[in-house]
Structure 1
Amino acid sequence: MKKTVEYEQVFERGCGMDIHKDSVYATVMGEGINTETRVFKTTTRDLRELGAWLTELDVKAAAMESTGIYWKPIFHVLSEFPINLMVVNASHIKNVPGRKTDKADSQWICKLLISGLLKGSFIPPADIQKIRDLYRYKKKLVHYISSERNRIIRALEDANVKLSSVISDTSGVMATHIIEGLLAGRKDLKNLVMERYHHRVKASPEEIVEAIDGKITPHIRFLINCIQKHISALHQQIAEVDAEIDKYVKAYETQIELLESIPGVGREGAISIISEIGVNMDFFPSEHHLASYGGMCPGNNESAGKKKSSRTRKGNQHLNTYLVELAWSAVKTKNTYYKAKYEILVKRRGKKRALIAIGRKILCAIYHMLKNNESFKELGSNYLAEKTQKNRIEYLKRELRQYGYKIERVA
């Protein structure tokens, strides 16, 4: 006799979807309907047929894996229907090994959904999604510029111009002036160097002249000119993206001003954070949930009473990167709480862990600032020392009272 396992249903009816590039396997089950699996194409017409089918069956909840970017068009089309859509982390809904088929996956997702065992991922509002897409694309363009600048240095190395050996910032004013002079065919290298030389350069003018005395061939000159034109085009494209971003962030100027009150956070940093988490903190029950979403909290790995690795969990890698950048900026701001805390942590935990800790503190502060609509409250660089001293005094008072001493404050 075949046995069945009964489980509590949180949703009366549900739909589980296994998503692919060209097809969607949708399984419906629940009270009053037969379990059924249908296959739909990912065209707009077929997805609307899927939405109409779910509406006809009075299915109010549906879940899908966050498979690459393929979930996005499905989410956008089905949002037109009265269905509670849930996008779930694929690593949280793995099926039983040995039963890996598209149909079985959709059935498994549906069972987990109606049992209330799935937790939806954070999906920002439509306008925040636009800011996110634009800002991530802008960061990609910045990376392209860095790559192209490195290509210029490699081309100069091919010409035996050792510019990166004597100047650390190869995209700065002095290095750019030297490169332009070499491409123009200037032979007075000493005058070329002295025109932009300054005391912050560690190498002497003679060392720089010796390093840049190479052989710039017409081929190298043509290659570098092409790279420079591409860099100029990328800068122009970044300016256009910035203008488009400004159109969408006008509605969030108040929140941006609040975040700019945090040490080390400027307008660029505030926009980067808002593009990833939005401004409505109601989705996150507490600041700890937000820190987990950003991958800024330690993980738990315990077995047989022994704690193993506590490395940070995987989260939103874009948000994680932005927070580490802001943490670097914050710890370099003098006379601040973050700098004082970093100096304490870095001694025993190292730079990387200390930066993650500061990034988490910044994110927790952002959570409360956006939730309560309040500006940042700077505690000051002496806060930790004063707190330690106060705790030490209270500890010594308790010790003395235990031994029968009476403590009186002397004015």
Structure 2
Amino acid sequence: MALKIVYKICCGIDVHKTFVVACIASTNDKGVTSYESHRFSTYTSGLKTLLQWLLDRNCKDVCMESTGKYWIPVYNVLEKDCSIVLAHPKYVKAIRGKKTDKKDAQWIADLFKHDLVAGSFMPPADIRQLRDRMRYRFKLTFFKSSEKNRLQNCLTVSNLCSWAGLTPTNNESAGKKKSVRVSKAGCYIKPLLVQCANAVVKSKKHPEIRNRYLRIKKRRGHKKTIIAIARMLLTALYHMLKNGENYNAELYQKSDLPPVDREITVEQALMIARNQGYKIKSATA
């Protein structure tokens, strides 16, 4: 007993990322089916050409498999003028060993003309658009919460500076320090802070930062000093945001002042002077 022909003119579409293959199955009054296949691009112009190709052949019943998300633009272009059945790939899978894009499209058309394909439920276009927006909103909300929790876990001054790649690494073995280079972390924020540090040490608006830069540079060099200034800026930003305070230059100016009641030995004073770049000579010379 032959299967009943439900759709005398129908189309099966095999969907891919960059192209689709469409096959129109036309059955005459004697039950003989002829096939016509064509390949179209998935760009909008190509899909519009596909629609016109279907309408020119009086084909308004279409079946295609829901491959990933590639079916969405095809469905959006065809849905106003065609009756579309969207099928799960497992229900229209061709026989292994005889698969080509053209044969896959023909196989879908053969199944569909006998109404052997179970279609998936598709809500109207406005409901689909609302659903996509709600899913995207949920995704952004989840991402925001995830990032907020991650930042809260690392936002202490020491962890923040380490996360930004502004603290020296620990590389010690057998009591010897092999390297004190900063880590490679903070690939985005570290260059920004270094750029800000280079700008602020050249500015006369913040002498407390420039004076600290000049003092450290004498014994540590420019590169290490700029990293120290960048770390200083990040620490200041952290306290400003945490406490809701404006930048207070007096705090750095006070910290640079030597303590009044501190006593040091002559040897310590000489060492400090040498570290500052001074050359020590005898008073009788």
2:60 aligned residue: 60
2:134 aligned residue: 135
SS of equivalent to 2:115 = coil
Shift of 1:6: 4.4
Q: Map residues 389-408 of structure 1 onto 2, 5 A cutoff.
A: none
Amino acid at match of 1:87: L
- The yes-or-no answer on 1:113 pairing with 2:148 is no
Give the paired residue count: 167
1:27 aligned residue: 23
2:121 aligned residue: 122
Over the aligned positions, Cα root-mean-square deviation in angstroms equals 3.0
SS of equivalent to 1:38 = strand
- Report the Cα distance in structure 1 between the residues aligned to 2:73 and 2:53, rounded to whole angstroms: 18
Shift of 1:221: 5.0
1:255 aligned residue: none
4+ residue segments displaced more than 3 Å: 156-161, 217-225
Aligned pair partner of 2:6 in 10, 14, 37: 10
2:190 aligned residue: none
- Report the Cα distance in structure 1 between the residues aligned to 2:7 and 2:109, rounded to whole angstroms: 10
Q: Map residues 35-54 of structure 1 onto 2, 5 A cutoff.
A: 35-54=35-54
- Report the Cα distance in structure 1 between the residues aligned to 2:34 and 2:58, rounded to whole angstroms: 13
Shift of 1:224: 7.1
Q: Map residues 214-233 of structure 1 onto 2, 5 A cutoff.
A: none
Shift of 1:24: 0.9
What is the percentage of aligned positions where both structures have the same residue? 37
Shift of 1:219: 8.1
Q: Map residues 55-94 of structure 1 onto 2, 5 A cutoff.
A: 55-81=55-81, 83-94=82-93
| Contact 1:30-1:114 within 8 A present in 2 as well | no
1:148 aligned residue: 147
- The yes-or-no answer on 1:95 pairing with 2:86 is no
1:182 aligned residue: none
Q: Map residues 7-406 of structure 1 onto 2, 5 A cutoff.
A: 7-32=3-28, 34-81=34-81, 83-156=82-155, 159=158
User: Structure 1 residues 147, 99: closer, same or farther in 2, change over 3 A?
Assistant: same
User: Structure 1 residues 148, 104: closer, same or farther in 2, change over 3 A?
Assistant: same
- Report the Cα distance in structure 2 between the residues aligned to 1:132 and 1:222, rounded to whole angstroms: 44
Amino acid at match of 1:17: I
Deviations 1:129-173 (A, max 9, x none): 221111111101111112212321441479479xxxxxxxxxxxx
- Report the Cα distance in structure 2 between the residues aligned to 1:222 and 1:58, rounded to whole angstroms: 72
Q: Which is greater in Rg?
A: 2
Deviations 1:228-279 (A, max 9, x none): 9xxxxxxxxxxxxxxxxxxxxxxxxxxxxxxxxxxxxxxxxxxxxxxxxxxx
User: Structure 1 residues 224, 120: closer, same or farther in 2, change over 3 A?
Assistant: farther
Shift of 1:218: 5.2
Shift of 1:119: 1.7
| Contact 2:22-2:105 within 8 A present in 1 as well | yes
- Report the Cα distance in structure 1 between the residues aligned to 2:106 and 2:47, rounded to whole angstroms: 19
Amino acid at match of 1:69: K
2:213 aligned residue: none
Shift of 1:95: 1.4
Shift of 1:118: 0.9
Shift of 1:74: 1.2
Deviations 1:4-51 (A, max 9, x none): x94322211211001112211001113136212111112233222222
| Contact 1:21-1:70 within 8 A present in 2 as well | yes
Amino acid at match of 1:102: D
- Report the Cα distance in structure 1 between the residues aligned to 2:94 and 2:237, rounded to whole angstroms: 53
| Contact 1:155-1:224 within 8 A present in 2 as well | no
| Contact 1:152-1:224 within 8 A present in 2 as well | no
1:327 aligned residue: none
Amino acid at match of 1:55: L
Shift of 1:89: 1.4
Gaps of 5+ in 2: 161-230, 243-285
Shift of 1:60: 2.9
Instruction: With a CA cutoff of 8 Å and minimum separation of 6, indicate the structure with the bigger relative contact order.
Output: 2
